[in-house]
Structure formats: structure tokens, C-alpha cells
Amino acid sequence: MNFSERSVVETQNQPWQAASASTAQYRWIERETGEARTTFIVEYAPGTQLDAQLIEYGEEILVLNGSLSDANADYGPGTFIKTPPGSTPDRMTRSGCTLFVKQHHLDVLDQAASVVDTVNAIWRPGLVKGLKVLPLSEFGGQHTAMVHWAPETYFSPHRHYGGEEVYVVEGVFEDEHGRYPAGTWIRSPHLSQHTPFSREGCLILVKVGHLPESEH
């Protein structure tokens, strides 16, 4: 939880940890004590009813596998779900599912809920050839998006004001610091710089602007 340091977690190599309920298991990525900032992968067994709990500072979810449901709809792979601060979501999964989850990190004033089917959405051209971008959430300098990299796509050197988090959903993402296959999570601090690229092509979930210098 030292936001001034770069951190890389290869979640596929992390052991699953059982929850108090036998129908869930977790791969923890970052975790503060208590109901504070948390990032994790969770796998729910078929038929699991998720306990409704207050999410004081909001939640962002990407469905990786299976289907997550609430009273409104079923959300399959590639669905992004943003739940605003102060919500108490009531969800379940009939088929079982695997989720990438970030909790308790949104601005308390950010009250916009959203659901995006990233598989069938219309993507925008990126800043360089080979990039496609799908914005998912934006508030007060924080931005969350999906980015698709075609094979042999190279980006220019750039610096991240407010830091950056990347979760590699598919393929292999790279920069001058290393090579990151699917399932890798990278957190880079405020004002960090890198030159990303993908020789093989990849799909990544990106969040920027949420690690201000004041949090170091």
C-alpha cells in the first residue's frame, strides 16, 4: 500500500485464499486494514448469493468469466460495473463467475452508477495507430478505460499525473520495465514515466489520476 512505489502483481501465480463463505475464494492484490481501499480477484461458485454490504467509497468491477446478476440484469464477461459510494448492492451468480474488483477508492461525490458491455460497445481510435479506447468512468481527474492494443503497437514516452493502474485482461502488455502477461496488475506512482508497447497485442483495464501526491 505504499503509493510512492511501483508495484507489480502476477495474479495468476498468487494462491487462492478461502473466504469465510465456502462459495468464494480470493486473490488479494492490494488491501488496507478494515473496509478501506482494496483490489482483488474473486471467484464465486455457482448459486452464490453475495452478501449485501455498504460500499462507503464505491466499487468498480470487471467481469472476467461467468455471469454476475442483480435485480435488473445478468452481466457476462467483459461487463464493467461502477457502483457509487454509499451503495449496498444485492447480487448473486447462477453460473459462477470470476471478477476483478476495486472497492473503497472513488470520490464520495462521484454518484454516477454505470454498466458498460465492453464486448459490444463502440470503441474510439487511440492516440496512435493500433490503439482503440473505451472510456468507462470519469470524475474529478480520475479516469477508467479499456484499451485494446493491436500487435506491434508502440506508444510514446509519457508521465502519469496522479498515477496509473493497469490490469492485463488478455495478451501481453510491455514497457521498458518488463513484460506483463494476462492476469498481471501494475501500479505506477504519481508522476511516473514509461514507454508502453505490445508486440503480441493485448487488452488492458486502465485507471489513472487516483493516486495523488498527497497520498504518499
User: What pLDDT, on a 0 to 100 scale, did the predictor assign at position 215?
Assistant: 42
Question: Are 92 and 63 members of one domain?
Answer: yes
User: What pLDDT, on a 0 to 100 scale, did the predictor assign at position 212?
Assistant: 60
Return the C-alpha cell found at 19.
473466504
Question: Are 24 and 102 members of one domain?
Answer: yes
Q: Could you say which residues of the chain have pLDDT below 70?
A: 34-35, 212-216
Q: Is 201 exposed, middle or buried (0-12, 13-18, 19+ CB in 10 A)?
A: middle
- Within a domain: 50: yes
Distance CA 106, CA 102 (A): 9
User: What pLDDT, on a 0 to 100 scale, did the predictor assign at position 216?
Assistant: 37
Asked if 171 and 149 touch (Cβ cutoff 8 Å), the reply is: yes
Question: Are 96 and 154 members of one domain?
Answer: no
User: What pLDDT, on a 0 to 100 scale, did the predictor assign at position 80?
Assistant: 98
> Quick check: helix, strand or coil at residue 215?
helix
Residue 57 is part of a domain; what is its CATH number?
2.60.120.10
- Within a domain: 6: no
Return the C-alpha cell found at 198.
505490445
Rounded to whole angstroms, what are the CA distances from 115 to 68, 81, 192? 12, 5, 30
Residue 144, strand partner residues? 137, 207
Question: Are 164 and 206 members of one domain?
Answer: yes
Number of domains in the chain: 2
- Within a domain: 109: yes
Distance CA 73, CA 88 (A): 17
Question: Are 49 and 135 members of one domain?
Answer: no
Question: Are 133 and 98 members of one domain?
Answer: no
Calculate the CA dihedral of residues 115, 131, 119, 54 and round it to 10 degrees: -30
Asked if 167 and 100 touch (Cβ cutoff 8 Å), the reply is: yes
Return the C-alpha cell found at 133.
479506447
User: What pLDDT, on a 0 to 100 scale, did the predictor assign at position 19?
Assistant: 79
Among 117, 139, 171, identify where a domain stops: 117
Domain containing 141 equals 124-215
User: What pLDDT, on a 0 to 100 scale, did the predictor assign at position 56?
Assistant: 86
N-terminal to C-terminal alpha carbon distance within the chain: 9
Asked if 212 and 162 touch (Cβ cutoff 8 Å), the reply is: yes
Question: Are 70 and 161 members of one domain?
Answer: no
* Cβ-based neighbours of 27, under 8 Å, separated by 6 or more: 11, 14, 15, 16, 17, 40, 41, 42
Among 117, 141, 166, identify where a domain stops: 117
Question: Are 112 and 182 members of one domain?
Answer: no
Among 117, 150, 168, identify where a domain stops: 117
Question: Are 138 and 63 members of one domain?
Answer: no
- Within a domain: 7: no
User: What pLDDT, on a 0 to 100 scale, did the predictor assign at position 209?
Assistant: 86
Distance CA 216, CA 122 (A): 37
